[in-house]
Structure 1
Amino acid sequence: MIDKNEAQLSCRKPDASDGQSVWKLVKRSGGLDVNSAYSYIMLCDMFRDTCCVVKEDERTLGFVSAFRKPSEPQTLFVWQIAVDPILRGNGIGSKLLNELLSREENQDIRYVEATVGPDNIASRQLFIRLAKTLGAECGISEQYGTDLFPESHEAELLLRIGPIQLPAGRRPRRD
């Protein structure tokens, strides 16, 4: 088992070879919708500039998938954040988001969005902390009501952070 106080974690852009381990991470993390292995391979390959993986040696311990909204390219939509259960509460989610926003190719991002279930307090707090770090507001509104889902599913709330106006030199630092 990994000692969370001594773990030497590397945070980097994923590639297609990370897709399988990301899929396994999402499965073991619990609470997230598990998509096909193919979707994680594709995200790690085609959306690597807006995705990030945290590893210790060869073990995948964290992953964030995000993309720029086609209709709003300065908005980064965070789709999923998965953290290995043994490392929860150690700032891995913040580390992943800060890594994405500190990348040179993402310096023009002005808004960060995510949808979160109403009972997912930990995710909501993560994004509220991010907003505070960025010196921005975090608005919350309903994005997808329960009536849109074919099976039982709670509503999804939209968290929208921004506008982000920090100069590039004051973006969150990579740890």
Structure 2
Amino acid sequence: MAAQSLESPTRRPDETNADVQLQEPSLADGPGLWRIARDTRVLDVNSPYSYALWCRDFAETSVVARDGGVPCGFVTGYVRPSSPDTFFVWQVAVDEAHRGQGLARRMLDRLAARLVPRGHRFMEATVTPGNTASAAMFESFARDHGGALVRGPLFGAEHFPEEGHEPEVLFRIGPLTAAG
């Protein structure tokens, strides 16, 4: 079977990704999610196996964006076992052709719309201090979903084996309302 291309038609900067479909991922999306994560060159890339497993076991707490049926973005997350009212956002990624158009935020909104009515009233994510774009996205998400945003240390640089890894700051947002 040939690999799917992640190339998309060229888009104008003012387009909004309105034609992109947001859905639960399927097992077939695993390779595309891995490629998108790898191609960001900023995410910690997990093994291809882990993305396939994620699409199988955590599809209900994740979102995939598809343009013409091809994955072009994703949010992976899970419900915290010790805090069943909290879902943790593991990774958010958008391929280069779809960045800067609000797609990451649309995916977060879709995830909240699915999970808040099920009793998951809090969202958590970690953001490195240098990632101002993600911080701004989570700040706007909190504001638009009626949740307070509390920041606090979670993992220090000493918790990572590689030299130079920034600390991870926990963003906890909630309680959330489904409608943005």
What TM-score, normalized by structure 2, do the two folds share?
A: 0.88
Q: Residues 16 and 102 of structure 2 are in contact (CA less than 8 Å); yes or no, is this contact kept in structure 1? A: no
Match 2:89 to one of 63, 72, 78: 78
Letter in structure 2 aligned against 1:172: A
Query: What's 1:159 paired with?
Result: 171
Give the CA deviation at 1:42: 0.7
Output the CA distance in 2 between the equivalents of 1:52 and 1:109. 16
Q: State the Cα RMSD in Å.
A: 1.6
Output the CA distance in 2 between the equivalents of 1:6 and 1:144. 35
| Partner-residue secondary structure (3-state), 1:76 | strand
Letter in structure 1 aligned against 2:100: G
Aligned length in residues: 168
User: Structure 1 residues 118 and 57, CA, compared in 2 at 3 Å: closer, same or farther?
Assistant: same
User: Structure 1 residues 129 and 75, CA, compared in 2 at 3 Å: closer, same or farther?
Assistant: same
User: Structure 1 residues 131 and 3, CA, compared in 2 at 3 Å: closer, same or farther?
Assistant: same
| CA distances 1:64-99 after superposition (whole Å, capped 9, x unpaired) | 000000000110100000011222121111111111
Output the CA distance in 2 between the equivalents of 1:62 and 1:17. 14
| Partner-residue secondary structure (3-state), 1:28 | helix
Give the CA deviation at 1:30: 2.1
| Residue pairs, 1:9-158, within 5 angstroms | 9-103=20-114, 107-152=118-163, 153-158=165-170
| CA distances 1:116-140 after superposition (whole Å, capped 9, x unpaired) | 1100000111111110011111011
Q: Residues 101 and 107 of structure 1 are in contact (CA less than 8 Å); yes or no, is this contact kept in structure 2? A: no
Deviates more, 1:104-113 or 1:119-128: 104-113
Give the CA deviation at 1:149: 1.2
Give the CA deviation at 1:104: 6.1
Structure 1 unmatched runs, 5+: none
Output the CA distance in 2 between the equivalents of 1:105 and 1:117. 26
Q: Residues 127 and 171 of structure 2 are in contact (CA less than 8 Å); yes or no, is this contact kept in structure 1? A: yes
Q: Residues 142 and 148 of structure 2 are in contact (CA less than 8 Å); yes or no, is this contact kept in structure 1? A: yes
| Partner-residue secondary structure (3-state), 2:120 | coil
| Partner-residue secondary structure (3-state), 2:72 | strand
| CA distances 1:28-86 after superposition (whole Å, capped 9, x unpaired) | 12210110001000111110000100011132111000000000011010000001122
Q: Residues 49 and 105 of structure 1 are in contact (CA less than 8 Å); yes or no, is this contact kept in structure 2? A: no
Identical aligned residues as a percent: 36
Structure 2 unmatched runs, 5+: 1-8
| CA distances 1:6-48 after superposition (whole Å, capped 9, x unpaired) | 7510000011110011101111122101100010001111100
